[in-house]
């Protein structure tokens, strides 16, 4: 297999070994003493202009029969995102990611939220489909630590087949990438994101070439979590793993001092199926997940799932203090069975680090 992190990408934001910097949180978690989360994953909107085949949010973005069916809050009410950000900053959160369950740019408060977070000395990032970005938002995005554009295709026809949306969406995204790349001053890492599914796997290398030509800092490719997705269930569709790994290796050959390739496959098992080889959910308290409909959830992989709802941030975000780290929250964590309850865990490497470092102390952390 190809190397997960090339020498140039060794210290990228995707390298999970940075979890060892969270050792105080790790030790507190195993003691049932939850600190304020490090990151806030915020979903400013519960709606999207696209219809991606692999969408992990489809079950609740589709209004019929979903959590948003009877919710007036498909987009956070005006001003609430700023109120939520202010509370989380004062609580101790250091990083904010605007993205997730819908398209964040559809909430007009995102622009002001980015400025507020940076004014307070915290870091912010955004994951966006990049289809409809206002000039004001693009101007604010250059203050982000990173911005990920979910492109997932190498051509207009492929994009429309996989993601739907307006016919000219692909070129809109490329224009917005170009505008932001020209605006950044070296602080913001702009990323071309490519979720690999059986339908676009052969385009990985072409997409990487397109990413490099667009001037982005990073090309980030990983397998999509297609298990249980409506577009693939019952069709016997599987990943061509040897082909994908060969194409990942070819992508790494395009790296230079100004362009990094991140190919994330370490969280998956054979055939890129979920592999949650840890005993329980430890790492989710490193992050708090807040959704547009008001729910606060155990983690981003379980957003809008009623069983994993901790409480609400409406109407006052300080309500989070009523349930964070309390007995019901701790019991939920202990009751999760990763192999049965979870998809390929976003924080899988951190889960294993906590077991090795904070539970067993395999690294003898009392000694440098």
Domain boundaries, the chain: 16-359
Query: Which whole number is the average pLDDT over 281-288?
Result: 96
Bigger pLDDT: 46 vs 3: 46
Query: Which whole number is the average pLDDT over 225-251?
Result: 72
Tell me the C-alpha distance between 222 and 357, whole Å. Answer: 27
CATH superfamily to which 16-359 belongs:
Aldolase class I (3.20.20.70)
Query: Which whole number is the average pLDDT over 70-79?
Result: 80
Residue 302 has pLDDT above 60, yes or no: yes
What pLDDT does 69 receive?
54
48-57, 92-101, 274-283: least confident range: 48-57
Tell me the C-alpha distance between 156 and 159, whole Å. Answer: 5
What is the maximum alpha-carbon separation in the chain?
59
Query: pTM value?
Result: 0.92
Q: Is residue 262 within 8 Å of residue 14, measured between CB atoms? A: yes
Query: Which whole number is the average pLDDT over 284-310?
Result: 94
- The DSSP call for residue 139 is H
Bigger pLDDT: 278 vs 231: 278
Residue 232 has pLDDT above 50, yes or no: no
What pLDDT does 63 receive?
53
Bigger pLDDT: 38 vs 264: 38
What pLDDT does 139 receive?
96
Query: Which whole number is the average pLDDT over 26-31?
Result: 96
Tell me the C-alpha distance between 245 and 260, whole Å. Answer: 17
Bigger pLDDT: 120 vs 7: 120
Residue 324 has pLDDT above 50, yes or no: yes
Tell me the C-alpha distance between 251 and 3, whole Å. Answer: 12
Q: Which residues pair with 40 in a beta bridge?
A: 96, 288
Residue 99 has pLDDT above 50, yes or no: yes
């Amino acid at each position: 297999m190809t190397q997960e992190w090339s020498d140039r990408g060794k210290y990228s934001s995707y390298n999970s070994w940075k979890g060892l910097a969270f050792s105080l949180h790790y030790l507190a978690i195993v003691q049932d003493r939850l600190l304020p989360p490090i990151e806030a994953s915020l979903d400013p909107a519960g709606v999207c202009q696209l219809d991606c085949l692999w969408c992990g949010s489809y079950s609740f973005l589709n209004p019929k029969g979903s959590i948003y069916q009877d919710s007036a809050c498909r987009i956070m009410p005006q001003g609430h995102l700023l109120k939520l950000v202010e509370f989380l900053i004062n609580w101790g959160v250091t990083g904010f990611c605007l993205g997730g369950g819908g398209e964040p740019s559809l909430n007009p408060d995102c622009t002001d939220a980015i400025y507020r977070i940076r004014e307070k000395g915290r870091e912010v990032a955004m994951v966006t489909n990049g289809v409809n970005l206002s000039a004001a938002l693009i101007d604010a995005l250059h203050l982000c630590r990173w911005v990920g554009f979910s492109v997932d295709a190498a051509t207009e026809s492929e994009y429309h087949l996989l993601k739907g949306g307006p016919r000219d969406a692909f070129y809109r995204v490329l224009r917005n990438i170009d505008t932001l790349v020209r605006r950044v001053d070296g602080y913001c890492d702009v990323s071309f994101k490519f979720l690999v599914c059986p339908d676009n796997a052969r385009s990985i290398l072409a997409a990487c070439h397109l990413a490099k030509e667009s001037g982005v800092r990073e090309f980030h490719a990983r397998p999509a979590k297609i298990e249980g997705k409506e577009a693939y269930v019952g069709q016997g569709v599987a990943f061509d793993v040897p082909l994908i790994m060969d194409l990942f290796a070819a992508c790494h050959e395009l790296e230079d001092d100004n362009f990094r390739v991140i190919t994330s496959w370490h969280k998956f098992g054979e055939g890129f199926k979920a592999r949650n080889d840890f005993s329980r959910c430890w790492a989710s308290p490193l992050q708090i997940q807040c959704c547009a409909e008001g729910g606060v959830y155990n983690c981003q992989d379980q957003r809008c799932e009623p069983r994993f709802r901790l409480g609400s941030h409406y109407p006052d975000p300080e309500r989070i203090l009523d349930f964070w780290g309390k007995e019901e929250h701790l019991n939920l964590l202990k009751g999760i069975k990763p192999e049965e309850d979870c998809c390929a865990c976003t924080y899988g490497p951190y889960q294993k680090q906590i077991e090795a470092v904070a539970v067993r102390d395999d690294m003898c952390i009392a000694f440098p």
